[in-house]
Amino acid sequence: MLMNNLFSKKSITILSILILCIITSIFLSYQMFQNSDPIPVPESSVIVTSTPSATVTRKPSPTETTIPIPTVSSTPKRVTSACVYALVNDETKKLLLRADKEMALPDGYEPEVVKLPLEYILQGWTEQYLIPETANAAMELIDAAKKEGHDIVIRSSYRSYQEQEWTFAYWVKELGLEQAKRESAVPGHSEHQLGQAIDLTSESVNWDLKEEFGNTPEGIWVDQNLHKFGFALSYPRDKEEITGYIYEPWHLRYVGKACSKEWYESGKTLIEVLKGIHLDY
């Protein structure tokens, strides 16, 4: 009986301790919850996505200003041309070498030339030569003119440096030095040395090289159509101040169809086009 009472008292004591521990634990947990920081909630102005590649976009406040994005014109400004491009193209830049009052050809310059068929040169005249591109274009031009009823031929074409020495010396003897410089190039400065220049003539001017050629039906046709075959008029009327030479309607220089078209449309002299002066930067 005594043993039962002792066991009963011991059980009640243990149970009381356990209850006290549970109450204490609950009380401490409640205190910890009360003292802890609240769980942060995202602001409504922030968009968050779980996609790794997405960005966070923040709406600007009323005090902020948005920097305008500059617009770019879809039309690029013209900074080049067919003539300028050809100058840096190894296959065509030889066609645009300058030979004028300011610029001389390289020392010893001798192009590879071919002999022209007799039907394209003045009858009884000496043999004529041109570089292949110019020879083909010259024959096409003369054939086209003939189909339109205009009989024109080549009186002069390629001249070597030595031939230009003789030519210039002849004109100095005939005209004097100052006038000769207006009508003939000093050696090394002649477009004829390029093998790309031709002097045309017709029966209307007695097969000579005269300013009147520009007023003949043949000369007018040439002036209106030369650019279609890759030629330019090197020394036009009233442009001596720019070119350094008198008006020569008979003197054509081959520069290729792309560049001749640009020259024709520019309204400038050939020397201005070769210098790039005609471009609108």
Spatial separation of the C-alpha atoms in residues 199 and 155, rounded to whole Å: 6
pLDDT in tens, 41-71: 444 443 333 434 433 334 344 444 343 333 3
Element at 152 (helix H, strand E) = strand 152-156
Which domains does the chain carry?
95-102+110-158+196-275 (3.30.1380.10)
What is the average pLDDT across 183-207?
97
Report the C-alpha gap between 92 and 101 in whole angstroms.
23
Task: Label residue 119 by pLDDT band (50, 70, 90).
Answer: very high
Per mean pLDDT, which range of 78-82, 122-126, 156-160 is the poorest?
78-82
Q: What is the mean pLDDT of residues 230-234?
A: 97
Give yes or no for residue 12 having a pLDDT over 70: no
Helix (H) or strand (E) holding 132: helix 132-147
Angle 180-184-190 from CA coordinates, rounded to 5°: 145
| Other Cβ atoms closer than 10 A to 198 | 31
CB of 144 closer than 8 Å to CB of 165: no
Say what the pTM is.
0.70
Residue 16 Rama label (left phi>0; alpha psi -120 to 50; beta): alpha
Active site residues: 248
Check pLDDT > 80 for residue 219: yes
What mean pLDDT do residues 125-129 have? 90
Residue 246, pLDDT > 70, answer: yes
The chain-wide mean pLDDT, for the chain, equals 80
136, 129 Cβ separation under 8 angstroms: no
pLDDT value for 180 = 97
Amino acid letter at 221?
W
Angle at 21 between CA 17 and CA 27, to 5 degrees: 145
